[in-house]
A and B are shown apart, each in its own frame.
Chain A
Amino acid sequence: GAGVSQSPRYKVAKRGQDVALRCDPISGHVSLFWYQQALGQGPEFLTYFQNEAQLDKSGLPSDRFFAERPEGSVSTLKIQRTQQEDSAVYLCASSSHAGAPYNEQFFGPGTRLTVL
């Protein structure tokens, strides 16, 4: 497709369940970002990949959060033992360049995660 796609669009999980969120970036884009957006807030950075290498994971809130991009294209964000505070929209973005300063990011529609 022409844009960034994410699946599922909506996910409801019971507290304690594991979830996996998928991101398909724009074809050929080197950089991939994950952000978390709580209700009424701006997105907050979680992690960054340059091709298959995870170069920055400083925004991951706990060791229950894990992300991978094994072949440098599709990425998966996994949350283990979900908690209610994990409820948010998870946004994926990609960029054709590696790093700043030419880094216009294109965002997917997001996955809305609700933890009951």
Chain B
Amino acid sequence: KQEVTQIPAALSVPEGENLVLNCSFTDSAIYNLQWFRQDPGKGLTSLLLIQSSQREQTSGRLNASLDKSSGRSTLYIAASQPGDSATYLCAVGSSNTGKLIFGQGTTLQVKP
């Protein structure tokens, strides 16, 4: 059974820092991995989707990497801003139906 873990559960950093959020999964037989952002009381916003054949994806200040063999993904946020404060969720697609298995999230606070 696929299990997804995110560390740390919470993170507080000063504005401008570069930071890394970690995601690990137990079964390396995945189709893809998706990173989401969730603001309080809101739904999920898709940030980056990495297919199993890819090693990384970039969007603006965000870079996500995938190492299937070790069961790990990282989300790198450059030059963090207070507007980046949110919960970041990692989700793995390891079923041919496309259903996602989520981690519990990392709650990020960027202080001005």
Residue ranges of A at the interface with B (Cβ–Cβ < 8 Å): 4, 6, 31, 33, 35, 40-45, 48, 50, 55-56, 59, 91, 93, 95, 97-110, 112
Q: 5 closest Cβ contacts across the A-B interface?
A: A42-B102, A100-B31, A103-B98, A101-B31, A107-B44
**B contact residues around A44 at 8 Å (CB):** 102
Q: How far is the CB of B95 from chain A (nearest CB, A)?
A: 7
Residue ranges of B at the interface with A (Cβ–Cβ < 8 Å): 4, 31-32, 34, 36, 41-46, 49, 51-52, 89, 91, 93, 95-105
CA distance A105 to B34 in the complex (A): 9
CA distance A102 to B42 in the complex (A): 25
Q: List 26 A-B contacts (CB under 8 A).
A: A33-B98, A33-B99, A35-B102, A40-B104, A41-B104, A42-B104, A42-B105, A45-B99, A56-B95, A59-B99, A91-B43, A98-B98, A99-B97, A100-B31, A100-B98, A101-B31, A101-B51, A102-B51, A103-B32, A104-B49, A105-B98, A106-B46, A107-B44, A107-B46, A108-B43, A110-B43
